[in-house]
Amino acid sequence: MISGILPVDKPEGMTSHTVISVLRRLSGIRKIGHTGTLDPMATGVLPICIGRATRAADFVADSPKQYIAELTLGVETDTQDTTGNILRTAPVQCGEDELREALAAFTGQIDQIPPMYSALQKDGRRLYDYAREGIVVEREPRRVTIHGLEILGEAGENRWNIRVDCSKGTYIRTLCHDVGQRLGCGGVMSALRRTKCGGFCAEDAYTLDMLREICESGRFEEILRPTESAFYHLPLCEISGEGEWRFRHGAPVWKRQLPEGLSEGVLMRVRGEREFLGLGCLKGSELWCEKSFCEIEEEA
């Protein structure tokens, strides 16, 4: 079975689900999944998991992200970005110093109220379904982490490019809205590009036009990254022999079968003699499998 991870550069105006449909048609492969949706107006890296690598989708989705966002001050919309209806405009009486001070208030752990135009569910319905009917429902704040916020420069009148390093679940348009609220003039997200996701960078991602040419030339399998590449940032644990057999079969690996120097309670990638086996965690004196990416070998 063809298996691996493909970093795609999602174009503006296309949903993540549409990207999957295009790839299925181009490659002829049905078992394909993405690692968390990008808004249609956003561009940038969208890691696509193929075949057995779809088991890694949730782990990639949970990884930190990096975005380049354009923040426009002096306007508010019902979607918190420039695709929505304008609710309010206001004069902008702040500069770079005031913006930098406002951004500092949003670093670290913060609570965000999810936007009404989002795919989160409330009582079995998507929030955007309520929003399209003009209904506003109560949403619980969600704790997210902003690891870094940096002003990259002006993008035009009352428009600023900012770099955001953040955790899973962060709404960048809500961040822009909240920054605008703090400055007193309102703010919206006017552009967004995801530059990093789960160890994959936009610079290394393939556009759909590139993928059409690659598929036509029969080279699709050659460009897939190994499943392990999604976890290169994790410490490595190499095992063999009986320890590898036990890990493959979901049994704990004893300490005497493990290399020295492993840290307890830390998620790590586990390799056998010939391949990446999965993710493991040392608990006490035993290594337990947290997620398997290998096939169990049949007994002779």
Q: What DSSP state is assigned to residue 221?
A: G
Q: How far apart are CA 4 and CA 50, in angstroms?
A: 5
Exposure of 90 by Cβ count < 10 A (0-12 exposed, 13-18 middle, 19+ buried)?
middle
Q: Within 10 A of 13 (CB to CB), how many other CB atoms are there?
A: 10
Cα torsion at 139, 162, 10, 268 (round to 10°)?
-80
* Residue 58 bears catalytic tag: no
> DSSP 3-state assignment of 287?
strand
The one-letter amino acid at 163: R
What does the block give as tokens for 19? 């990207």
Residues ≥6 apart with Cβ < 8 Å to 273: 240, 244
The distance in angstroms from the start CA to the end CA of the chain is: 22
Q: Contact 190/75 with Cβ under 8 angstroms?
A: no
> Which residue in 9, 39, 165, 178 is the catalytic one?
39
Give the catalytic positions in this structure. Answer: 39
